[in-house]
């Protein structure tokens, strides 16, 4: 019997059911966010010209798909390691879903604009900045993108930190993984904040510096270095 008077077997089954429901909801929400990126604009192509037009949006869609899948996999890795079903885990998971459904819009515009600009309008032809001040539009997009990126990464960092504080696992390797990934997602959130701040203070005129907020994400290439450094550090602190 548990302290609440509920048989342990029933309590365990209840936790598993709640965990499965939460996982299914998160998975479904990310799947829904990805469907919002549908390349054909929500309608099936009716002829070859329409199909070719839609396929020109595939590169931007592929990058957006990969990024949303990356955040989703961060939650999957947390669930596989922590296996928590408490209120904090529930609220943080729902918050991640909330941010994902917001993040999908600036995500699409940033990469559609990137591929449209790099290809001189050949790719992502539906993207248009007509009637807008290009410099201000770019700044605004990077600000919203950076904020959304930071919110999602920060929520995952909070989930991993909660797993550490709650003592979600006792295995040495899992404890190290939770701590290191908490730092890793905090690092990602910091990159988003840095990009947003740079975009915020950029001059409202065209120039090479308009790409600086995007270049901040090149720091993601340091992920392996950061992760390995903190893994070694946390392993050294844990008792043998």
CA separation for the pair 9, 15 (Å, rounded): 10
CA separation for the pair 100, 121 (Å, rounded): 28
Q: Which residues contact 74 (CB under 8 A, 6 or more apart)?
A: 156, 181, 185
pLDDT tens by residue, 148-187: 999 999 999 999 999 988 887 778 888 888 999 999 999 9
pLDDT tens by residue, 127-153: 776 556 667 778 888 999 999 999 999
pLDDT tens by residue, 49-100: 878 878 888 888 899 999 999 999 999 999 888 878 888 999 999 999 999 9
- Helices 58-82 and 8-35: crossing angle in degrees, nearest 10, is 170
Does the pTM of the predicted model rise above 0.75? yes
User: Among candidates 155, 157, 168, 165, which has minimal Cα distance to 15?
Assistant: 168
């Amino acid at each position: 019997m548990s302290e609440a008077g509920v048989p342990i077997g029933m309590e365990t089954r209840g936790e598993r059911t709640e965990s499965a429901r939460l996982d299914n909801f998160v998975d479904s929400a990310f799947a829904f966010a990805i469907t919002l990126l549908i390349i054909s604009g929500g309608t099936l192509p009716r002829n070859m010209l329409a199909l070719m037009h839609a396929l020109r949006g595939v590169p931007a869609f592929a990058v957006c798909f990969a990024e949303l899948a990356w955040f989703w996999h961060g939650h999957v890795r947390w669930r596989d390691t922590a296996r928590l079903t408490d209120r904090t885990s529930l609220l943080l998971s729902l918050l991640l879903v909330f941010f994902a459904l917001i993040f999908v819009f600036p995500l699409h515009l940033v990469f559609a604009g990137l591929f449209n600009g790099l290809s001189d309008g050949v790719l992502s032809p539906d993207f248009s900045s007509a009637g807008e001040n290009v410099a201000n539009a770019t700044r605004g997009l990077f600000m919203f993108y950076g904020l959304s990126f930071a919110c999602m990464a920060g929520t995952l960092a909070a989930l991993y930190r909660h797993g550490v504080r709650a003592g979600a696992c006792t295995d040495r390797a899992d404890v190290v993984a939770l701590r290191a990934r908490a730092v890793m997602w905090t690092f990602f959130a910091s990159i988003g904040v840095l990009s947003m701040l740079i975009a915020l203070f950029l001059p409202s005129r065209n120039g090479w510096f308009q790409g600086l907020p995007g270049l901040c994400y090149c720091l993601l290439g340091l992920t392996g270095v950061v992760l390995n450094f903190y893994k070694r550090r946390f392993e050294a602190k844990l008792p043998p």
